[in-house]
Structure 1
Amino acid sequence: MVSHRISVGESVTMTARNKPDAPSFLFADGSHHTFVRTNARVNRLVSALRAEGVGRGDRLAVFSLDSHRYVEIVLAALKLGAVYVPLNYRLRRGEIDTLVARAGPVAFFYDVRYEELLRDLPEAHESIRLFVALNDGDAADGADSRYEALLATGHEGEPAVVATDEDVIGLAFTSGTTGLPKAVLQSQRMMKAIINEQVIEYRMRPDDVRYSAAPTFHITGICQLLMCVAYGTPSLILPQFDARTTLDFMAADKLTAVFMVPTMISTMLGLPDVHDHDYERLRLMYYGAAAMSPNLLRRAMDTFGCDFLNAFGAGTEAGLQAVLTPEDHRRALDGRPDLLGSIGKPAYGVALKIVDEDLNELPPGEVGEIATRSDMVMDGYLEMPEETERALRGGWFRAGDLGYLDENGYLYLSGRKKDMIVRGGENIYPIEIESVLAEHPAVAQVAAVGVPDEHWSEVVRAWVTLRPGTTATGEELAAHCAERLAKYKVPAEFRFVDALPTNASGKILKRELRTWE
């Protein structure tokens, strides 16, 4: 029996009826859209896509900077019962081809700034029937784009929406390069739970005006926008994070809450006039995706004079997992500085424990793998049953993050089991970099590790041994990587050594490399 539920996509319909003239999206030039306008555009897109034969279960890929059109596509997919596939716009063509081949989208929406990169993409992938530019190179607002032409063919009537909580509505990739990338199956149930969780933990208020600097291709970014749509409050949308514009909106008292990663906060604190304002309307700055040093956090708290909240989670696969609340931050300043090293306590509705390899729960103070169970957990990985079984064993999700709980239930990170590197909020898997560098004719062995960085939190350092009789420089290897990898994955440092540390079976010991200078 099909269970008919309210779809996440219908949130814009309900808000448009309750607050038709309220702003939905704010833009840097001072203009805005209303909720009734946003809903009408989403309905036009649903109608137009159905006329093109796009329907329930079809996949719609998006490769673009952030815009109201991006959000419209996601909302239209949710009303259609289709699956949206967000792609990281920093990827290179080979990475894009790998993901498109895995996803098999029938429609591909893109920003014209990437037109040359995406040239002949439909010819390379027969699944793509619609190849739609979201904007026009000669029109900043995209008024003459193919996207707007497509909308013009649709009508504004409310479409029939049939949704079940078990429907897969998002297909997001955890990695984008060599090997078989993991495509995360995100259900209606998962997205609804994340949005409801955010309303509670991120302390939404009716007078909020929010900005999330997380890109829309991240589940953090899109769910925060959808949270505001559902709650009926406006969101500032910028194509990409811009410290100057963000600070101007904050200084003009146009924002009440802002989400950023630590790197962005560090950039804003470097602006010359950052201390010249009172930020009277700003009440919450929440951060996540990477660790923030206590020194940076104290500087930010002193400068902006608002509450701070740390959000931790394996968002793509398990949503929000732990929260260090504003009250915890205030306690830290009042004599508990150790709390600033914590990522908080389990979020609302989240069961969390520290486990060993056999999923046995460990006592406080003992390091193990972080495991959580909640309605925010994914349905699994596309066509990867063994990986799914490993990640969701017994219903508990494990991402490979290591940590421990103290006697009071606060969670502290201890590292990453899979050696994942987090640079400025972006996840980097060392195998991606190592595979590319191994293709260079001079490279014999390579190991990529993360090293601390005050601005980026972590950067990539590549340890390299060269083949006998060959030479290579760091600049040469960086250029080799830059041709094949997204810019943020290119190592910031190259260290050349005669041999890498290995164990008895020949496996490179990265834990030793992290202690090398």
Structure 2
Amino acid sequence: MTVPVKVSDLLSRWERERPDTEALRFGGSSWTWRQLAERVRRAAAGLRANGIGPGDRIAVLDLNHPSCLELTLACAQIGAANAIVNFRLAPPEIVYVINDATARILFVGPEFAGAAEQIRDKLPSVERVLRLGGDADEYEALLGTHEPDTAVHPARPDDCFVQLYTSGTTGFPKGAMLTHRGVLAHSAAVATDFVLSDDDVVQIAMPLFHVGGTSYALVALYGGTRMVMLRMPDPVAVLDMLERERITHTFLVPALLAAITQIPGVEQRDFSALRALSYGASPMPLPVMRACLALFPGRLHQVYGMTEAAGVVSSLGPQDHENSAVAHRLVSAGTPIHGVEIEIRDPATGEPVPAGTPGEIWVRTEQLMSGYWGKPEATADTITPDGWLRSGDGGYLDADGYIYVTDRIKDMIISGGENIYPAEIERVLAEHPGIADVAVIGVPDDRWGEVPMAVVVAAPGASIDENELLAHGRKHLASFKCPKAVEVVDELPRNPTGKVLKKELRKPYWAGRERQVV
């Protein structure tokens, strides 16, 4: 295979080599490689006709749909970028992301048309809002209006074509600019390490705003592998598709797997085609791990990664899941995948530390983003001049080279695969008149891995009504970010410089757990 230098090269190859083979299935519709390539070229023509060119951004606000993937590939063809919006965000957060991306066209699914109308006057960069699906499908009309455009922008390897948002420690999301070089390096490594072939069938179940959705789809594209996409990751729908479509590869988050293991009769289902079930984005509770090992023996791959690295950087394969002699590795994140270097560095000095010594996980690979859109200082804080990404995750390497993620240096909470930063929640709760001080921590949860909890100090003369405070949070935050409980204390523990000692707040909740967030 000729080494691809642009993402557009992938689609062209499969159109040329297997034009009439099914490429993608969604609901009751399917497309061959030739049909998919033609739709992408029509989308490219439509974007160009609307003035979208190199360096421009569009945005998609929708549940999973092939149109989002088509628009990403169309952007790759014309030199633009697709900023995919997390549909789980609250309206003010959606406004921030679209404005931050300076998106010129906003594509919205039928479930979000009303919300888009309500925020339309707050989106100064958006010139057009086009509906996807439903009775007034303006996207299909756009494709039907334009003949396929075959011109391909001479993209450079480090040009961005898809922009995925990851929350920052300041509470504001940052747009990770994923590039042709980075995505192709990730796709090649994952396709190789997970033995993906053109005879396989990949399930796209996770949302496309997440690397577990879009990057996983692009891995399948790299391998010329048939894709089957779900609109929403419903446990029963995931299970039915695994069986019906003879899925060979899928990526799911632990919260979804926990729900799947509880479906009546699940052990009677036929998963004989499944060869690799990858899971990650949050800790797997050990009871769920045991149920999955029984249900999917020899197929589990734990993966650790990040948006800034286009997806996976390490994996723990089936052998380590099944070998009782190394059972301790079940709480590790495995070893680096092909093309990835991982070191543990002292967070203060940036110097490497010996095996077994905790520090910050640093990653170097061609998979890395080119930076955060419009945030050069945040980029410089994250990527060193010699190409190392400071992950913000704490951990250590054992003598065998296995990575153990032990904490979050950047204080991030991962709940059901979603990244949550306490600073964002704290900023909202601090606006409540009854609050004098607040800290948000992650506490264990058997379903979601961990969930946010607010530890608060009442303002003088005030009393805390837990339900009222939680309702206040729900007005301003996406539901998955809202604290699930409130603890009232007299004061927050702080160090001599005034920093809240969240380790002390978390300690009683994580005591006795094999996987620690300290």
3-state DSSP of counterpart to 2:507: coil
- Is 1:238 paired with 2:240? no
The C-alpha deviation readout for 1:269-311, integer Å capped at 9, x for no partner, is 0000101124211121111111213332221121123411111
**Which of 122, 125, 142 in structure 1 is aligned with 2:123?**
125
- Is 1:373 paired with 2:364? yes
- Measured in 1, the distance between the counterparts of 2:466 and 2:38 equals 53
**Superposed displacement of residue 258, structure 1:** 1.6
- Is 1:392 paired with 2:383? yes
In structure 2, the partner of 1:471 is 463
**Superposed displacement of residue 317, structure 1:** 4.0
2:471 alignment partner AA:
A
In structure 1, the partner of 2:8 is 9
Structure 1 residues 58-457: aligned runs within 5 Å: 58-136=56-134, 139=135, 144-175=136-167, 180-252=172-244, 254-317=246-309, 319-331=311-323, 333=324, 335-356=325-346, 357-393=348-384, 394-457=386-449
Q: Is the 8 A contact 1:43 1:76 kept in 2?
A: yes
Change (3 A) 1:17 1:337: same
3-state DSSP of counterpart to 1:88: coil
The C-alpha deviation readout for 1:312-366, integer Å capped at 9, x for no partner, is 11233463221112222232x4x22111111111111111111112221111111
3-state DSSP of counterpart to 2:395: strand
Structure 1 residues 38-53: aligned runs within 5 Å: 38-53=36-51
3-state DSSP of counterpart to 1:321: strand
Q: Is the 8 A contact 2:320 2:327 kept in 1?
A: no
Larger mean CA deviation between 425-434 and 379-388 belongs to: 379-388
Change (3 A) 1:74 1:499: same
2:373 alignment partner AA:
L
**Superposed displacement of residue 432, structure 1:** 0.6
**Superposed displacement of residue 217, structure 1:** 0.6
- Measured in 1, the distance between the counterparts of 2:243 and 2:101 equals 42
1:84 alignment partner AA:
N
- Measured in 1, the distance between the counterparts of 2:247 and 2:162 equals 29
3-state DSSP of counterpart to 1:220: coil
3-state DSSP of counterpart to 1:381: coil
The C-alpha deviation readout for 1:67-102, integer Å capped at 9, x for no partner, is 111111111111111011111001112112222222
Q: Is the 8 A contact 1:111 1:134 kept in 2?
A: yes
Change (3 A) 1:121 1:169: same
3-state DSSP of counterpart to 1:395: coil
2:81 alignment partner AA:
V
- Measured in 1, the distance between the counterparts of 2:82 and 2:275 equals 33
- Measured in 1, the distance between the counterparts of 2:340 and 2:79 equals 27
Q: Is the 8 A contact 2:254 2:448 kept in 1?
A: yes
In structure 2, the partner of 1:458 is 450
Q: Is the 8 A contact 2:191 2:222 kept in 1?
A: no
- Measured in 2, the distance between the counterparts of 1:172 and 1:304 equals 31
Change (3 A) 1:191 1:318: closer
3-state DSSP of counterpart to 1:514: helix
Unaligned runs of at least 5 residues, structure 1: none
- Measured in 1, the distance between the counterparts of 2:174 and 2:308 equals 11
Q: Is the 8 A contact 1:92 1:485 kept in 2?
A: yes
Q: Give the TM-score of the pair, scaled to structure 2.
A: 0.93
2:336 alignment partner AA:
P
- Is 1:514 paired with 2:512? no
- Measured in 1, the distance between the counterparts of 2:286 and 2:491 equals 36
Q: Is the 8 A contact 2:172 2:424 kept in 1?
A: no
Change (3 A) 1:478 1:362: same
- Measured in 2, the distance between the counterparts of 1:176 and 1:101 equals 16
**Superposed displacement of residue 63, structure 1:** 0.9
2:193 alignment partner AA:
E
3-state DSSP of counterpart to 2:257: helix
Q: What is the CA RMSD across the aligned residues, in angstroms?
A: 1.9
Q: Is the 8 A contact 1:449 1:460 kept in 2?
A: yes
**Superposed displacement of residue 54, structure 1:** 1.2
2:21 alignment partner AA:
A
3-state DSSP of counterpart to 1:194: helix
**Superposed displacement of residue 423, structure 1:** 0.1
Q: Is the 8 A contact 2:23 2:30 kept in 1?
A: yes
In structure 2, the partner of 1:493 is 485
In structure 1, the partner of 2:512 is none
Structure 1 residues 31-42: aligned runs within 5 Å: 31-42=29-40
**Superposed displacement of residue 180, structure 1:** 4.5
Change (3 A) 1:98 1:278: closer
Larger mean CA deviation between 401-410 and 124-133 belongs to: 124-133
Larger mean CA deviation between 123-132 and 455-464 belongs to: 123-132
2:209 alignment partner AA:
F
Larger mean CA deviation between 203-212 and 118-127 belongs to: 118-127
Larger mean CA deviation between 231-240 and 487-496 belongs to: 231-240
**Superposed displacement of residue 501, structure 1:** 1.4
**Superposed displacement of residue 428, structure 1:** 0.1
3-state DSSP of counterpart to 2:268: coil
Larger mean CA deviation between 443-452 and 379-388 belongs to: 379-388
**Superposed displacement of residue 5, structure 1:** 7.0
**Superposed displacement of residue 167, structure 1:** 1.2
Q: Is the 8 A contact 2:85 2:98 kept in 1?
A: no
3-state DSSP of counterpart to 1:447: strand
**Superposed displacement of residue 120, structure 1:** 5.0
The C-alpha deviation readout for 1:249-275, integer Å capped at 9, x for no partner, is 223362112210111111000000101
Q: Is the 8 A contact 1:285 1:306 kept in 2?
A: no
- Measured in 2, the distance between the counterparts of 1:420 and 1:339 equals 23
Larger mean CA deviation between 445-454 and 275-284 belongs to: 275-284
2:231 alignment partner AA:
P
Larger mean CA deviation between 84-93 and 309-318 belongs to: 309-318
**Superposed displacement of residue 202, structure 1:** 2.4
